[in-house]
Structure 1
Amino acid sequence: MSSPTASVGRPRSGARRLPTGSARDEILDAAAELFAERGYAATSTRMIAEMVGVRQASLYYHFKTKEQILAELLESTVRPSVDYASSLPEQGLDPAEALRALVRYDVGVLLGARWNAGILYALPEIATEPFTRFRAERERLRLAYRRLAGGDVPGDLVLGLVESVIGMRRDLATLPPHEELQEAVATAALRLTTL
């Protein structure tokens, strides 16, 4: 009889990527690293499984397709900011303060992720069905920016400014401290709304 804490399946080959994370979390982490560094098309599910130290069949237990992994990663880059934007009315901030708070929060999410998964927003695959929920979540975030910025054009400009930190993460060897960059983007965002 096995103990209730015994693991199921084959042992992993190698150390765990995220000692406190679930197998699903480790798969997402490995995929984010490979997608961001090698590219989505150049990454296979076999590579992801090998990086985690599990068999490919174990990966398919958690995710049926590579598209499902990518969709989950992309949604995780916008979901926290959408949730935060939804909580702003309860904070009693005026629109400019709320916009500043959302920009700072959203930039923090994009900078705080272990891997720069936001770089994958421009993939042509994102226009297909498996990514419908990600596109809907991103549109909700866009609408929050438009509402707080006072119009479609200013809101879209602010969202573009926020997402520019994705390119900065890719292109710059060293980024300014996160707090400094969050404040700089928030200040610039407020200036955009007064043009």
Structure 2
Amino acid sequence: MDRVRITDPRALRALAHPARVRLLELLTLDGPATGRQLADRIGESTASVSYHVAQLVKWGLVEPATELARGRERPWRATSRGITWPATGSPEFVAAARALRDQMVARRIEELDDYRRAEDTLDPVWREAAWFGEDGGYLTPAEVAEATTRIKAVIADYTGSRRPRTADARLVRFFAYALPTPPPPTPDAPPEPR
């Protein structure tokens, strides 16, 4: 499953809701689930989950998994491995993309806080395996694009949907960014000689 590229600002706005971000994550990472199962996982009512799933269906991000239906249960599945969107566009698009990105970053910060609160309870093997890193350097836009492509490829080797899940595996989140700093301020022009 490839990632879906979203170019409609209305779709970005529809997705920029904490419950929808969470539901799409669950369906992408854990596979098909019913509304009841999803409601139990995110702590929302089944009616609320149904509404949010309908919004995801409207924009082609979720679809019924009819072949898995049992009785009255209607399972849902993600239609892709994730989403992408252009970095630029109309002011409406840029605002919608920013709103979605803000939700996604808030979710990652929440997960980081969850980890820090639970860190002492984790098996030492998992604490050793966890990684926090930081680095920086001076790159061109082409070098940033190349580095990003290489990093995504390495992560995809371990997160692909066809990769079998072993009994000792846990969900591990990779969160990275490659953001340029603003340009330095231009120095004041030297005073003109008198």
Q: Which has the higher contact order (CA 8 A, sep 6+)?
A: 2
Q: When the two structures are superposed, what TM-score results if normalisation uses the length of structure 2?
A: 0.31
**TM-score (normalised: structure 1):** 0.31
Structure with bigger strand share is 2
Larger Rg: 2
Which structure dedicates a bigger proportion of its chain to helix?
A: 1
